[in-house]
Structure 1
Amino acid sequence: MTQTDVAAQQQAPAAKLSMLTMTGMVVGSMVGAGVFTLPRRFAQETGVAGSLIAWTIAGVGMLMLAFVFQTLANRKPELDAGVYAYAKAGFGQFLGFYSAIGYWASASMGLVFYWVFIMSTVGAVVPALGEGDSLLAIGISSVGLWGFFLLIRRGIKEAAVINRIVTIAKIVPIVVFILLCLFVLKPQVFAENWGGADYAGSLFDQVTGTMLVTVFVFLGVEGASVYSRHAKRRADVGRATVLGFLSVFAIFASVTIVSYGILPMGQIAELRQPSMGGVLAAAVGPWGAWFVSIGLIVSVLGAYLAWSLMAAEVLFVAAKDDDMPRFLSRSNRSDVPVPALLTTAIFVQVVLIITYFSHDAFNLALDLTSALTLIPFFLVACYAMKLVLTRETYRDAPRGWGRELTVGILATIYTAYLIFAAGLTFVLLSFIIYAPATVLFVMARREQGRRVFTGREYVILAVAVVGAVAAVVALVVGWIHI
């Protein structure tokens, strides 16, 4: 790299994005592969009644979290890359670092899931691709991974514009799916699916069993906050977050509920993913599966852009704040954090290879993507509560204190419930990523000539290491499986 390139990196202004574009990034992030998996994932856990309760909990909870991001964007406009920055501001540098790692790893696992899902979808026609985890599938996914890397490194504005176009294109087949299913919905089948099946367990267990997949489909609600340094106006960050959430919530719930009126619950639970295709094929004929598969590929490729950008952005901003090694703070003339983007691509490549040895790569990638965001989201909700309770920023601007206290309480309860719903398995698997990643924190501290860990940070490190060791032992002896 020449000295001119280095100077350009240091002086490159942040590309500015409008509220419409940022809203498109939120919608583009949320409407990805997850919506196409909803019929089967819900039918495996619950019936119509449980689905309505689950979506009510998830909708209210995620709306509260969206309001939290909106509040923090307005009250703490100096904090960029929200998920990471809020955890750091509220609970210290080390927990902020882990929040950044968790969010980055989650977004990266989401990219892995996208490739597995695309290959699994095409695998219905090309058996050699299997369930998306065969050698051929991994090879093709790897080519696509590095092709997207070359595209995104050309510029953020270019990628954002492409994302906005694809977002519109992928909403259309999902809306068509809902309308077609409503047109041929069978009231008797819908009624039979109301209470769930014998295998579904208690209503509480049914609802709890759906929580990870609802988290997965709502990932991206924080997209505007993560990319806040590019907003033309800071107020647009919160508006884009809430507008993006409200734009997709009804779509997600509708996809789930109308499916119960097409096939018995047990049959939906056995459909090949993307299960939306199987439902539509049952409703209108074989062309329905093709229609959904094409829509899925367009949807996934659009979301892939947004998630890649968000993952790299978190590493980049953390490095700018001296919480990651300095090499991750570099960007090119187009304001793209190429080293952070490259680090993400390498991680995705490694995990893609690991999927070959996984028992169920599809659900592993989906559930781990969700689980890795839970601690970062919980810390964000707690930070909003901390601001309200300490009245920081409220002494000069007290308006809205009561409303934001309610929002903070509900968001904190919801994110704590999500950690419970995820279960011990995925919490332990998360530590396998958190603990080794501490090396990056050590590198950053040594670059600054600072003491590596303080007393409280040693405690946090010990928890992460013990959790990682426990996860490895559990994998070796067969207590948990991947």
Structure 2
Amino acid sequence: MANSPVSKLSLPSLTAMVVGSMVGAGIFNLPGRFATATGPFGAIIAWAIAGTGMYMLARVFQALAEKRPDIDSGVFAYAKAGFGDYMGFLSAFGYWLGSCLGNVFYWVLIGSTLGRFFPEIFGDGSSATAIIVSLVGIWCFHFMILRGVEQATFINTVVTVAKIVPLIVAILAFIFFFNYSQFSENFFGGVNMPEKTLLAQVRDTMLITVFVFLGIEGASVYSRFAKKRSDVGSATILGFVAVTGLMVAITLLPYATAPRAYIAGVANPSLAGALELVVGHWGAVFISIGVLVSVLGAYLAWSLICAEVLFAAAKSQDMPKLFAAQNGNRVPANALWMTNIVVSLFVISTYWSRDAFNFMLDMTSVTALLPYLLVAGYGVLLARSGVGYETTPNERGRDQIFAWIALIYTLFMFVAAGLKYVLLVAVLFLPGTIILYFWARREQKARLFTSVELIVFAVTVVAALIGTYGLVTGIITP
């Protein structure tokens, strides 16, 4: 009997899909972001923490996919199953909002990459010209997707090559020009850099490590395409190790080629600037072309993901049913319109940001943390309850330990993010609740909150008011 089309992916194919979903635009900014925060010693500690935490989170996603195969509406469905309707909504809204902010980051990255060659026009990616170009790009993609254009296999292939080849070339160049004495000088912080405690150095790198691992939950999505179910776990581990190795190399090797202050001072995308310090201008051009092709392809994929998140949440009654509508090309049109209007507004807002590039990167990371936190929490609840473990009771203890570590790691990420970003996320969550959640609950004629959910809403309101006050008075600056 022939295999069906959904059971054709081998272990190498599955691993490639995991790598493709995790390697994004953030990796091109690792050298500068890390060099600004810490030296190689702090970077090694940061990657050890992030790698352990994200691996545990990946194992939680795997366990939930195996033990609760009936839950298939997306990441937010786990939050709803474990903590009720309002937390399910906040998870769905946070995941969608994070995806939207990630798309804004892509356009700022495109602008800052072009700004390397046309600094007077594009600047750091938040100039008026850069914003206009971004808005034109957003709406060109919008109308193309409405016509039913999806990421074809050849686009995926081009994008994957565009991402991986420049990274491999950069790593080889850094290895070839490796200077041990320079690496030693930078190891504990380097010269001409502000004095910071090791804890502060590590904390300042944490949000970008969250950003570059975004998409790790995608591994569990591919399980139904596998030839063998056991290949999913192997592909997750292989893909995770490969991507982590790539990111650690891109972070650490530049420290052996130039003083840390030089690397911290290069323009975004900083991998282009770091390579330019080593091989000359062609290195910056080479990386920049790779960035542009990679980001445009990734943007197409994430535009569809943003719309799909809203669409799936509307189908499961966590969002207004307006967003469950599809056009004649089976594209969730209303969800796509809503997504791109929000993305456009955020792109316009970057004009007033002091550092739009890193601000959007950090906001994307923080909005992703709430869905991750709730998934880890549900992992703990499920393992404790024993539901789904009837045939494998020996796995309960192991999965509970994984889920607890993932939960503690995600809470640590919130602390590392700092109060500023938590308050800014609350500022966005409050109107989302009042408009979308209230609307969805009215449609279903369901009560708004349980007593516990009312407390969560009250905390969100207070945090949003403090955040708004901070923005108005200038205490908080984007």
- Number of residue pairs the alignment of both structures matches: 467
Gaps spanning 5+ residues in structure 2: where?
Answer: none
Note if contact 2:124-2:268 (Cα within 8 Å) is conserved in structure 1.
Answer: no
Letter of the structure 1 residue corresponding to residue 461 of structure 2 = V
Counterpart among 204, 211, 221 of residue 209 in structure 1: 204
Name 2:310's counterpart in structure 1. Answer: 315
Describe how 1:232-271 pairs up with structure 2 within 5 A.
Answer: 235=229, 241-271=236-266
Q: Deviations over 1:208-248 (max 9, x none)?
A: 110001011111111344x5798578947766554442331
RMSD after superposition: 2.3
Name 2:61's counterpart in structure 1. Answer: 69
Q: Deviations over 1:127-176 (max 9, x none)?
A: 21111111111111111112222333444754565234411332111011
Counterpart among 164, 186, 194 of residue 193 in structure 1: 186
Q: Does 1:140 align with 2:133?
A: yes
Name 2:101's counterpart in structure 1. Answer: 109
Q: Deviations over 1:22-45 (max 9, x none)?
A: 755543342222111111110111
How far apart are 1:465 and its partner, in Å? 1.1
Provide the C-alpha distance between the structure 2 equivalents of 1:307 and 1:142, rounded to a whole number of angstroms: 16
Provide the C-alpha distance between the structure 2 equivalents of 1:263 and 1:116, rounded to a whole number of angstroms: 27
* Most deviating of 80-89 and 153-162: 153-162
Letter of the structure 2 residue corresponding to residue 473 of structure 1 = Y
Name 2:319's counterpart in structure 1. Answer: 324
* Most deviating of 448-457 and 419-428: 448-457
The TM-score with structure 1 as length reference comes to: 0.91
Provide the C-alpha distance between the structure 2 equivalents of 1:343 and 1:320, rounded to a whole number of angstroms: 16
Query: Taking structure 1 as reference, are residues 166 and 174 closer, same or farther at Cα in structure 2, changes over 3 Å only?
Result: same
Q: Deviations over 1:255-299 (max 9, x none)?
A: 001010111111111111111111111111111110111111122
Provide the C-alpha distance between the structure 2 equivalents of 1:387 and 1:156, rounded to a whole number of angstroms: 39
Describe how 1:52-91 pairs up with structure 2 within 5 A.
Answer: 52-91=44-83
Q: Does 1:294 align with 2:289?
A: yes
Counterpart among 421, 425, 443 of residue 439 in structure 2: 443
Note if contact 1:170-1:296 (Cα within 8 Å) is conserved in structure 2.
Answer: yes
Provide the C-alpha distance between the structure 1 equivalents of 2:154 and 2:282, rounded to a whole number of angstroms: 31
Query: Taking structure 1 as reference, are residues 46 and 241 closer, same or farther at Cα in structure 2, changes over 3 Å only?
Result: same
The TM-score with structure 2 as length reference comes to: 0.92
Describe how 1:32-51 pairs up with structure 2 within 5 A.
Answer: 32-51=24-43
How far apart are 1:370 and its partner, in Å? 0.6
Counterpart among 322, 332, 335 of residue 337 in structure 1: 332
How far apart are 1:307 and its partner, in Å? 2.1
Note if contact 2:115-2:125 (Cα within 8 Å) is conserved in structure 1.
Answer: yes
Letter of the structure 1 residue corresponding to residue 407 of structure 2 = T
Query: Taking structure 1 as reference, are residues 211 and 160 closer, same or farther at Cα in structure 2, changes over 3 Å only?
Result: farther
Query: Taking structure 1 as reference, are residues 317 and 233 closer, same or farther at Cα in structure 2, changes over 3 Å only?
Result: farther
Name 1:170's counterpart in structure 2. Answer: 163
Identity among equivalent pairs (%): 48
Query: Taking structure 1 as reference, are residues 325 and 72 closer, same or farther at Cα in structure 2, changes over 3 Å only?
Result: same
Letter of the structure 1 residue corresponding to residue 251 of structure 2 = T
Counterpart among 456, 465, 468 of residue 469 in structure 1: 465
Provide the C-alpha distance between the structure 1 equivalents of 2:14 and 2:97, rounded to a whole number of angstroms: 22
SS at the partner of 1:125? coil
Query: Taking structure 1 as reference, are residues 270 and 144 closer, same or farther at Cα in structure 2, changes over 3 Å only?
Result: same
SS at the partner of 2:165? helix
How far apart are 1:455 and its partner, in Å? 2.4
Describe how 1:269-284 pairs up with structure 2 within 5 A.
Answer: 269-284=264-279
How far apart are 1:451 and its partner, in Å? 2.2
Provide the C-alpha distance between the structure 2 equivalents of 1:230 and 1:310, rounded to a whole number of angstroms: 18
SS at the partner of 1:400? helix
Name 1:452's counterpart in structure 2. Answer: 448
Query: Taking structure 1 as reference, are residues 224 and 17 closer, same or farther at Cα in structure 2, changes over 3 Å only?
Result: farther
How far apart are 1:336 and its partner, in Å? 2.9
Provide the C-alpha distance between the structure 1 equivalents of 2:236 and 2:324, rounded to a whole number of angstroms: 26
Provide the C-alpha distance between the structure 1 equivalents of 2:317 and 2:377, rounded to a whole number of angstroms: 23
Q: Deviations over 1:392-442 (max 9, x none)?
A: 212343142232122112111111111110010000000111110012111
Note if contact 2:18-2:239 (Cα within 8 Å) is conserved in structure 1.
Answer: yes
Note if contact 1:166-1:299 (Cα within 8 Å) is conserved in structure 2.
Answer: yes
Name 2:114's counterpart in structure 1. Answer: 122
Letter of the structure 1 residue corresponding to residue 451 of structure 2 = G
Letter of the structure 1 residue corresponding to residue 124 of structure 2 = E
SS at the partner of 2:37? coil
Provide the C-alpha distance between the structure 1 equivalents of 2:162 and 2:37, rounded to a whole number of angstroms: 31
Name 1:479's counterpart in structure 2. Answer: 475
Name 1:100's counterpart in structure 2. Answer: 92
* Most deviating of 308-317 and 157-166: 157-166
Note if contact 1:74-1:234 (Cα within 8 Å) is conserved in structure 2.
Answer: no
SS at the partner of 2:69? coil
Name 2:343's counterpart in structure 1. Answer: 348
Query: Taking structure 1 as reference, are residues 210 and 185 closer, same or farther at Cα in structure 2, changes over 3 Å only?
Result: same
Letter of the structure 1 residue corresponding to residue 466 of structure 2 = A
